[in-house]
Amino acid sequence: MTSLKFMAIPTDITRAYQSGQPDAYGRVPERRVSDGSGVPCRHCLTDVAAGDEYLILAYRPFPDLQPYAETGPVFLHATPCERHPEVGDTPDMFLSREHLLIRGYGGDDRILYGTGQVVRADEVSETAAGLLERSEVAYVHLRSASNNCFQCRIDRG
State the CB neighbour count (10 A cutoff) for residue 64.
8
The closest alpha carbon to 28, from 16, 39, 38, 12, belongs to 16
Domains of the chain in sequence order: 8-77 (3.30.1740), 86-156 (3.30.1490)
The closest alpha carbon to 43, from 75, 16, 90, 66, belongs to 75
Within its chain, how far is the Cα of 50 from the centroid? Answer: 21
Asked whether residue 144 carries a pLDDT value surpassing 80, the answer given is: yes
pLDDT in tens, 11-66: 999 999 999 999 999 999 999 999 998 899 999 999 999 999 999 999 999 999 99
The closest alpha carbon to 53, from 27, 80, 71, belongs to 80
H helix intervals, 73-141: 92-95, 124-132
- Sheet containing 150-156: order of strands: 4-7, 150-156, 139-144, 99-105, 117-120
- What integer pLDDT is reported at residue 2 of this predicted model? 84
Predicted model pTM: 0.95
